[in-house]
Amino acid sequence: MKPRARWLSLLAAASMSFPLAPASPAFSFDPHQENRLEAKNVIFMVPDGMGLADVTAARIYKNGIDGPPLHFETLEHIGYQRTYSGNSTITDSASAASAWACGEKFNNGEICFHGDGRPNPASILELAKGMGMAAGLVATSTITHATPAAFGAHVANRSCETEIARQYIETTRPDVLLGGGLSKFQPVKADPCGSSGDLIPRAMKAGYTIVHTKAELDAAISDGARKLLGLFAMEGMTPVHLRTPGIAEPRLSEMTATALGLLEKRRNGFFLMVEGSQVDWGNHAKNEQYQVGETLAFDEAVKTVLDWINSSPERRDHTLLIVSPEHETGGFAVNGPADRLLRSGEYVTAGWTTGDHTGTDVLLWSQGPGSSEVGRALDNTDLYRIMRNALESED
């Protein structure tokens, strides 16, 4: 048994919080059906709220109706997943991300935490840290928002963002935390879990270098920072379509590049989650300019990752990359135009069926060791097992 497999076995045996829910027979697969390389690195990228029509609209705007694909469309395997939560046909981001992170169904609002008293599984990030790997979370929402939180915290209520911040700093300790959300680390009042107080001094004591601008981020890397906490806005970061020249906030692609540069220094590999959080918000707002801008910004972050992977055979052979929305938002559709072909720089005629989430299945794109398991019909909980199997697989 390889060292990583031994780590996973010991961790699972040592805590009642690690049991895996059995796979649904409808989605069962043999994790050892093919001879594959071990994934030294796992990069999980989330375009929150993105459906297939969002991809179409963004591709047309960038490249025209007959132009090349977006970067994430070039990945080797394509599949799709069911997204329902433990108590609803329509999932929220908390339960959907928790299904990925912890491998079980959770109720809407729960962050890898079973409110009915069942044991709470360890997340894939916690397993990675237990194996001596580095870990990072990057988002354009607050870094304590539902999606990143599912990988680094366990709380009954997604609104407990200061408690989530506390667990990051004092319990799970990801090496890189980059996004918005300064107000969650320095709240003016307690969150619904009762957590309060200034967490910045605690983060500094725990070894984090604190940065608030792109310039400070660059300087921290130049100075050899080993752990980073970047909080670039009080709440969510500025949407792409509202950014002005000279804005101090880094772009998602820049945060991603920084995270890769720091995490790759760890010889045991890393787990990194990157979320383009505001594709979802653009669809909630029924704002096509917002949605397309965020989809393309997310795709630039994917390009950053692909450039990093393709820079060496070692990275290509040992990095599992998965791109996956939690759910679709808005019931967005491409409704036209019906009388001509669109050129780059033009928006489709857009339509939405709702301002909320929908229950439709969403697509998955992937490449790297273990990725062929993603190229099929899945439940969202299966992605946890795929990532775990990739980390423990034999050469």
Helix (H), strand (E) at residue 136: strand 134-142
The stretch 193-205 carries a mean pLDDT of 98
Whether 93 sits among the annotated catalytic residues: the reply is: yes
Closest CA to 84 of 58, 61, 105: 105
Q: State the first-to-last Cα distance of the chain, in angstroms, to the nearest integer.
A: 11
**Residues near 130 by Cβ (< 8 Å), separated by ≥ 6?**
7, 11, 122
Rounded to the nearest 10°, the torsion over CA 138, 296, 354, 350 is: 170
Q: Which of 390, 320, 386 shows the shortest CA–CA distance to 75?
A: 320
DSSP 52-109: HHHHHHHHHHHH-TTSPPPGGGGSSEEEEEE---SS-SS--HHHHHHHHHHSS---TT
ω into 337 cis (within 30 of 0): yes
| C-beta contacts of 336-344 below 8 A and 24+ residues apart | 341/64, 341/65, 341/66, 342/60, 342/64, 342/65, 343/64, 343/65, 344/60, 344/61, 344/62, 344/63, 344/64, 344/67
pLDDT band per the 50, 70, 90 thresholds, residue 2:
low
Contacts of 291 (CB under 8 A, 6+ apart): 54, 57, 58, 279, 282, 283, 332
Mean pLDDT of 264-286: 96
Compute the half-sphere exposure of residue 25: CA atoms within 13 Å on the CB side of its CA: 0
Q: How distant, in Å, are the alpha carbons of 53, 82, 138, 299, 351 from that of 355?
A: 15, 20, 26, 23, 11
Tell me: the pLDDT tens digits for 61-78?
999 999 999 999 999 999
138-160 average pLDDT score: 98
d(Cα 131, Cα 43) in Å, to the nearest integer?
Answer: 16
The encoded tokens of residue 326 equal: 């939690």
User: Does residue 132 have a pLDDT over 90?
Assistant: yes
Share of the chain above pLDDT 70, in %: 90
pLDDT at 392: 82
Average pLDDT, stretch 106-129? 97
CA dihedral angle for residue 103, residue 108, residue 109, residue 114, rounded to 10 degrees: -50
Contact assessment for residue 380 and residue 334, using Cβ atoms and an 8 Å cutoff: no
Average pLDDT over every residue of 182-186: 98
In this structure, which amino acid lies at residue 368? G
- Tell me how crowded residue 344 is: count the other CB atoms within 10 A of its CB: 12
Quick one: pLDDT at residue 225? 97
What are the residues facing 365 on neighbouring strands? 78, 323
CATH 3.40.720.10 fits 47-278+291-337+344-392, yes or no: yes
* Res. 186 pLDDT band, cuts 50 70 90: very high
State the catalytic residue, choosing from 28, 85, 93, 141.
Answer: 93
Residue pair 309/322 in contact (Cβ under 8 Å)? The answer is no
The mean pLDDT of the chain is 92
- 393 pLDDT band, cuts 50/70/90, is low
Sign of CA dihedral 134, 72, 329, 25: negative
Per-residue model confidence (pLDDT) at position 267: 86
What is the rounded average pLDDT of the residues 248-271? 96
Structure-block tokens of residue 96: 């959907």
pLDDT at 34 over 60: no
Q: Where are the chain's structural domains? A: 47-278+291-337+344-392
Query: Can you tell me the distance from the alpha carbon of 307 to that of 316, in angstroms, rounded to the nearest whole number?
Result: 10
Q: Which of 124, 137, 391 is nearest to 259 (CA)?
A: 137
What pLDDT score was predicted for residue 8?
Answer: 53
pLDDT in tens, 335-376: 999 999 999 999 999 999 999 999 999 999 999 999 999 999
* Cα gap 374→31, rounded to integer Å: 11
Look up the pTM and report it: 0.92
pLDDT tens digits for range 211-244: 999 999 999 999 999 999 999 999 999 999 999 9
